[in-house]
Each structure stands twice: as C-alpha cells, then as structure tokens.
Structure 1
Amino acid sequence: MTFSVCVHEPYEADEGCEHHRFGVAVTTRLPAVGRLCPFVTENGAIATQSHVNVDLGRDGIAYVDDGLAVDDALPALLAADDGAPLRQLHGVDAETTFVFSGDECGPWYGHLDGDRYTVAGNLLAGESVVEAVAETYEAQRDEDRPLEERLIDALEAGQVEGGDKREGLSVQSAALLVEDTEAYEFDPSTRDLRIDASRQPIADLRETYELAAEAHETLLERVAERDEETP
C-alpha cells in the first residue's frame, strides 16, 4: 500500500562545518500516512510500512539516537516481532543502511539498498516504481536544491510508474520529514509536512512545500529588517 525512501546526505554548511541530513518521504492509498511511517532525527531516518508496527520506527530511531547502528537496531527489533513476515522496514544512519521486506507483504513488494539511501514498497504496480524512486533520487542527489524538493520529485517519479496499485482507494496521503545537524534560529517550516487526505497527495505536498518555503523566507526577511532597525 506504500512506497517510501530514506536518505542520508553529508554536506558542508556555509561556515565550512561538516553536517549530516536525513529524510523520509512516503505516500500511500490510505489517509494520514505521516502519523505512522516516517521517523527521523539528526542521527538517522527509518520508515515502517506494510502491516505497520509503529514501535519498529519509534524504538528503532531511539536506538539510533542512543548510538546503535541502524543495521543492528532494526534486525534486533524484527527478531522480537511475531508479525515480521508482514512488515517492511528500512532506514539509514550516518554509516549504515538496512532494508527488510517480509515474505507475506502484498505483491508487488520489494526494496532497493543504495549508497546512503533505501527504497521500499508493497502493493505496487511493479518493480519499476521503486526503481524510478531510486533513479530519480540518485540523479538529483548532487543538485544544489533542498532535500525536501528532491524527495518530492522521487515520490512523483514512483507515482508516474503506477505507484500503489489499488485503484479503488481514491483517498491517499503523503508526507516528508527531514532533520539535520545544523542549529537554526528559526527551524525551517518545510521539513515536517503532511497531506493527510487527498486525491492528489504528491501534487498537494509539493504545493504545501512551496508555500511553507515562501512563508519561511518572509519570516527571515522580516526578522532581518527588524534587526536592522534596532539601534
């Protein structure tokens, strides 16, 4: 019912310091996927899907925050989960990746484990969905554009390939969640966005992102003007 992508990107900030960013983008033919699937902190990104066990994402990211590698934390959680054959679980941290698709997931299901990213999906039109997500993300990874924009592009590429195959479900949702290791005076309002119920969730997610980015820039401009006027 879902496809998603988890990514890790090391980068250099304006002051020359090395930083890391992590993100998840996800869409499905059910409402409110953003409350179930993506788990992201400044240390890693995890997506839990298929027959969702939210604890896998919540506990997994907590273990990563405590310093455990994602490819140690997630297998340990799956080993204790009686429903593991029904799960899809994948994620990244600063050093490792992990992806799992249980053999009782709804077809087509599968995953890809790339260089600092993972993609997984179930109940899809076919393998080309996850391939399109991966190829689009890889092709744009070095572009000087916000990760949020590129994650939306990756979702859109998967949707063009057919996405979730359940045409009888018209209400869909999408979400993205991004964190990094920089400190901000005002956290960017573009990094935690959800479309909970829509017939065109990816297009709506893009519009929401663009409006949020515009509003954030306006906020920064007004703060700068205020500071200039302050003696």
Structure 2
Amino acid sequence: MTFSICVRERYTDDDGDDQARYGVAVTTRLPGVGTLCPFASSDGAVATQSLVNVELGRKGIEYLGDGLSIDDALESLLNADEGRDQRQLHGVDIDGTFAFSGDECNDWYGHAVGENYTVAGNLLAGEDVIDDAAAAYESSAHGDAPLAERLIDALAAGHAAGGDKREDLEVQSAALIVTNTETGEDDPYYNDLRVDASETPVADLRETYEAATRGYGAVLEKYAAESNGGAE
C-alpha cells in the first residue's frame, strides 16, 4: 500500500485553549485506498498498509478513544495479528508516535519518525520517497497553509521522488483526513477527501481540495448573506 503520512499539530483556539489537529494522507497504485488505509479521530491518526489489515486502523482509533496511548494501542493489535510480518502500521496521538514495518514487507519498504509525524511506505522506488515526503512536511510544519494542503504537498514530494514503483499499474488512488480536538467544531468539507480511481491521483486530490475549499467558501458566503437578509 505505497506510502502515507500521519501528523499531529498543537494549536491554540480562539478562546485561548490548547487543541490538537491530526492528519493522515496516502496514495497507492491501486483503486480505493481511502476505504482501506487512513483513519483519524479527535484522538489521533493511524495508517495501515502493506498487506493491509483494515481492522488495525479501525481498532487502533477505537483504542485511542478508550484512552490507550498510540504505542500501547498499535503494539497490542500487532501482537495479536498473525500476519504482522507483512504489515506496516503507524500513527500519532496527543503525546506520541508509533511506526512499524514488518520484515516481510515488499522492497523498498521502511518508515521515518519525526517529532510530530510518521511516514511509511512499501513497494517504493527507493528510500528517497519517504525522506522527501518527510522533508516536505517538515518544511511546511509551521506555515499558515491548512494541514490538508500541506499533506498533499508531502504526497506530491514523495510521488516526485518515484513513489510506488509498480509503473505498470495505471489505476491509482489517494486520500486525506484531517480532524481536531475542538468540541462541536465542524470540519470543513475539504478535510475528508478521496480520489478513488485515477491515473494522476495526487494531482487530482489537489484539484479536489481546491474545488472543495472554493465550494466551502461559497456556502459560508451564501448563508451569511441570507442570515443578513440578503444585504450586501
């Protein structure tokens, strides 16, 4: 399942309270990766890949909601998984990071762990895919752009470094999810996006994101005008 990135970012909300946002993004040379790999909630973000086991992502997020740390949650799931040597599993929670690549994943495979992020991939053109995706995120981590946009930039950097090496597979996909800890905060429509079948998934995910941000802005403008009686 190619490569993915999980991110945690702390911030202060409009009331001065400490909050966190989580993001996960992935791309692969198979269709429908958004249904299999990325998982996120107000408790963290998890990506499951290689010989993918969707339950590792679902239960990982569930365990984080039950109060387990990311290390305890994901390690306990791997310990109970007979196929762990063929899995990649990584993620972040409010305090920690976790990354695992089984010894039987397909080359090139590996992962990288930073202070607030994890990146992992398999069946890649080489290590540069992971390194460049990580570097792209690190270079933008303190920027003003929304996290969803910066996650796409990280995928684009990994893709430019060669990405998934299976060039004979033309139908590809990409997805992203961004969540936060603010109670009652509505996530904009551009924080949960998927491109399920495309020959240019990362570029299409960016176009989808840009269209969604325009659409979200138009909705806000429309209903703000209606709430003011339609006055300009």
TM-score higher than 0.5 here? yes
Q: State the distance in 2 between where 1:21 and 1:102 align.
A: 28
Residue deviations 1:187-212, cap 9 Å, x none? Answer: 30001100000000000000000010
Aligned residues of 2:2 and 2:50 also touching (Cα < 8 A) = yes
Question: SS state of the match for residue 190, structure 1?
Answer: helix
Rate the CA distance shift 1:35–1:214 in 2: closer, same or farther, 3 A: same
Task: Tell me, yes or no, if structure 1 residue 43 matches structure 2 residue 43.
Answer: yes
Rate the CA distance shift 1:221–1:184 in 2: closer, same or farther, 3 A: farther
Q: State the distance in 2 between where 1:134 and 1:185 align.
A: 28
Question: SS state of the match for residue 26, structure 2?
Answer: strand
Q: State the distance in 1 between where 2:215 and 2:182 align.
A: 20
Report the Cα offset of residue 182 of structure 1: 2.4
Residue deviations 1:5-51, cap 9 Å, x none? Answer: 00000111233222110010000000000000001001100000000
- Out of 14-23 and 57-66, give the one that drifted further: 14-23
Aligned residues of 2:179 and 2:187 also touching (Cα < 8 A) = no
Report the Cα offset of residue 222 of structure 1: 1.3
- Matched residue, 1:95: 95
- Matched residue, 1:223: 223
- Matched residue, 2:153: 153
Residue deviations 1:100-136, cap 9 Å, x none? Answer: 0000000000000111100000000000000001000
- Out of 5-14 and 20-29, give the one that drifted further: 5-14
Task: Tell me, yes or no, if structure 1 residue 142 matches structure 2 residue 142.
Answer: yes
Report the Cα offset of residue 183 of structure 1: 4.5
CA RMSD of aligned residues (A): 1.4
- Matched residue, 1:181: 181
- Matched residue, 1:8: 8
Q: State the distance in 1 between where 2:9 and 2:186 align.
A: 21
Structure 1 residue ranges without an equivalent (≥5): none
Structure 2 residue ranges without an equivalent (≥5): none
Residue deviations 1:38-75, cap 9 Å, x none? Answer: 01001100000000000100001100011100111101
- Matched residue, 1:122: 122
Could you tell me the percent identity over the aligned residues?
A: 60
Query: TM-score under structure 1 normalisation?
Result: 0.97
Matched residue count:
231
Aligned residues of 2:21 and 2:180 also touching (Cα < 8 A) = yes
Moved over 4 A (4+): 183-186
Report the Cα offset of residue 144 of structure 1: 0.6
Q: State the distance in 2 between where 1:228 and 1:110 align.
A: 54
